Amino acid sequence: MKHIKVEKDVRGFTLVELLAVIVVLAIVMLLAVQAVFPQMIKARKNAFAIEANAAIDAATSYYMTASLTENLSIGTGLCIDIQYLIDQNQFDADRTKYKGWVMIESNNSGGYVYTVTMTNGQYYVKGAGVKETSGVKRNVNIGEDVVFEGGDTEIDISSEPSTCKGKTS
């Protein structure tokens, strides 16, 4: 007698099993997004803080170079427009993206302090880069703790000092 092989009816997964897997994956994705999203914002703020520090470095470089060739005086403060620094190839950035200025002032210990007010449309810093300790102002690196969301809506570019070097308005 011949043996007849009977194949089992293989159907795959049920709809309930598939839905359960989808729900579990959705919950895992939700948890992952909640953990990653704040870190993304922090990273963007840190990147902008680095750009603000670069703007101060650019103003420092510009002032040192220009003070040898031009009659620049700090006086009560020297303001340099961010877009002017970009045009002078001192600050490597997109001219259409950044607005603001760097202010150079002498401190009461014979040195100079640099403050930056700058926006890229999404984030901004306002008067950052200086800390006063025991009556003496000193330069400090800008960190993500002084970078705020809001961009153009929070900085009134028209409040830029009228004597700002390179101001175009």
Q: Residue 162 burial (CB < 10 Å; 0-12/13-18/19+)?
A: exposed
The per-residue pLDDT for 135 is 74
φ, ψ for residue 14, nearest 5 deg:
-80, 165
The per-residue pLDDT for 19 is 94
Domain ranges of the chain: 23-159
The per-residue pLDDT for 18 is 92
The set of long-range contacts for 85-94, using a CB threshold of 8 Å and a minimum separation of 24, is 85/55, 85/58, 85/59, 85/166, 87/166, 88/62, 88/166, 90/58, 90/59, 90/61, 90/62, 91/54, 91/55, 91/58, 92/54, 93/51, 93/54, 93/55
The per-residue pLDDT for 25 is 96
Dump strand ranges (E) for 129-167.
130-133, 136-139, 148-149
The per-residue pLDDT for 165 is 73
The per-residue pLDDT for 30 is 92
Alpha-carbon distance of 30 to 13, in angstroms, equals: 25
Across the chain, which has 169 residues, the per-10-residue mean pLDDT values are 67 88 95 90 92 91 81 73 90 88 81 88 86 78 86 67 64
